[in-house]
């Protein structure tokens, strides 16, 4: 509601005294501009993200702490040096990845998710669903071939996920290997189904992937199923074939066609629930 006019404040005496009363806007001009300036400088940045209640005990990190840890998400390539400012590791279909230092007792990876070009992210937005699933699933299920989630952030301008950082030996250009290898997990599934070693120089197709491709039809792994492991059937479901379908997707050579870790875990959980 705007300020009332001076004449209405003064009533009938306005004609006599109006010349003696300065304009309110003039009186307030300097003070209001100062107040607005102070307010803008001290106000926290509004987050476009919804308030989430996540089913996890994983630590929730403040976005400003992640900014400090990643040198404000510096785009300079990472050089594996505690004193170098570069933090950028790479980018993919879902976000950009940075190294983070001094936020916990070991180096980490911070994945900063891409948002759709919207002012407000709704709770049913696909990126919110992806973020929720990844936090809630990866915080409960761990595997040596899957990246270890160590925390998350959802109070800033976008969602962030924190993972363990694994650095390969002989680094010359800051090459970093996040232990998230969908292809390797596909190989693990083939080992589980067949009971065969991943490498065997004495068989046709020494690596397991090539061996399976040469022996089996594209849509069935029946000739190589490890029957010594017991029955693969339960409730009319052939779990060996179901796992093989997941493995085939993981072994897709085009990474954009590979399923995400969340999609893999969700399918495995779905299969387990059928038992």
Determine the pLDDT at residue 107: 84
160 and 84 inside one domain: yes
Determine the pLDDT at residue 268: 84
- What CA–CA distances, in Å, run from 261 to 91, 172, 197, 198, 266? 16, 28, 24, 21, 8
Residue 119 makes CB contacts below 8 A (sequence gap 6+) with 48
Per-residue pLDDT of 67-95, as tens digits, reads 999 999 998 887 765 556 788 888 776 78
70 and 160 inside one domain: yes
| Structural domain includes residue 115 | yes
Per-residue pLDDT of 242-268, as tens digits, reads 999 999 988 887 767 778 777 888 888
Per-residue pLDDT of 120-151, as tens digits, reads 898 888 888 888 878 887 777 665 556 688 99
Determine the pLDDT at residue 14: 39
Determine the pLDDT at residue 204: 72
Using a 10 angstrom Cβ sphere, with 0-12 exposed, 13-18 middle and 19 or more buried, the burial of residue 203 is: middle
| Structural domain includes residue 205 | yes
**Which of 33-37, 58-62, 82-86, 179-183 is least confident?**
33-37
142 and 218 inside one domain: no
Determine the pLDDT at residue 145: 53
158 and 199 inside one domain: no
Query: With contact defined as beta carbons under 8 Å apart, do 164 and 99 qualify?
Result: no
| Single residue among 164, 191, 209 that ends a domain in this structure | 164
| Structural domain includes residue 56 | no
Domain count, the chain: 2
Query: With contact defined as beta carbons under 8 Å apart, do 207 and 186 qualify?
Result: no
Per-residue pLDDT of 152-198, as tens digits, reads 999 999 999 998 876 554 334 555 444 446 777 888 899 899 998 88
Binding-site members are: 111
| Structural domain includes residue 102 | yes
| Structural domain includes residue 243 | yes
Compare 60 and 129 and report the one with higher pLDDT.
60
Q: Which domain holds residue 117?
A: 63-164
203 and 157 inside one domain: no
| Single residue among 164, 193, 213 that ends a domain in this structure | 164
Compare 61 and 81 and report the one with higher pLDDT.
61
- The residue among 54, 64, 67 whose CA lies nearest residue 128 is 54
| Single residue among 164, 192, 226 that ends a domain in this structure | 164
The residue behind tokens 């400088």 is 41
CATH number at residue 219: 1.10.510.10
| Structural domain includes residue 125 | yes
Per-residue pLDDT of 192-239, as tens digits, reads 999 988 877 777 767 888 889 888 876 899 999 999 888 888 888 899
| Structural domain includes residue 46 | no
> pTM to 2 decimals?
0.55
Determine the pLDDT at residue 169: 45
104 and 157 inside one domain: yes
| Structural domain includes residue 33 | no
Binding-site members for ATP are: 111
């Amino acid at each position: 509601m705007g300020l009332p006019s001076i004449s209405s404040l003064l009533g009938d005496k306005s004609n006599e005294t109006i010349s003696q009363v300065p304009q309110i806007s003039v009186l307030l001009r300097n003070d209001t501009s100062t107040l607005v300036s102070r307010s803008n400088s001290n106000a926290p940045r509004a987050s476009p993200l919804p308030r989430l209640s996540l089913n996890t005990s994983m630590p929730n990190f403040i976005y400003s702490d992640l900014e400090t840890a990643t040198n404000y998400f510096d785009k300079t390539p990472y050089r594996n040096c505690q004193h170098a400012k570069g933090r950028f590791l790479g980018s993919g279909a879902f976000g950009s990845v940075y190294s983070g230092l001094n936020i916990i007792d070991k180096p980490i990876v911070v994945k900063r998710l891409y948002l759709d070009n919207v002012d407000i992210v709704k709770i049913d937005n696909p990126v919110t669903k992806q973020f929720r699933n990844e936090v809630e699933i990866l915080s409960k299920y761990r595997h040596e071939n899957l990246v270890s989630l160590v925390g998350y952030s959802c109070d800033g301008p976008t969602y962030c996920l924190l993972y363990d950082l694994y650095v390969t030996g002989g680094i010359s250009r800051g090459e970093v290997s996040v232990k998230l290898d969908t292809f390797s997990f596909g190989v693990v599934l083939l080992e589980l189904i067949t009971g065969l070693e991943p490498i065997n120089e004495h068989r046709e197709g020494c690596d397991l992937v090539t061996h399976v491709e040469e022996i089996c039809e594209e849509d069935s792994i029946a000739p190589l199923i490890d029957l010594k492991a017991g029955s693969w059937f339960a409730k009319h479901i052939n779990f060996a074939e179901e796992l093989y379908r997941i493995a085939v997707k993981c072994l897709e050579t085009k990474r954009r066609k590979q399923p995400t870790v969340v999609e893999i875990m969700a399918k495995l959980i779905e299969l387990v629930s059928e038992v």
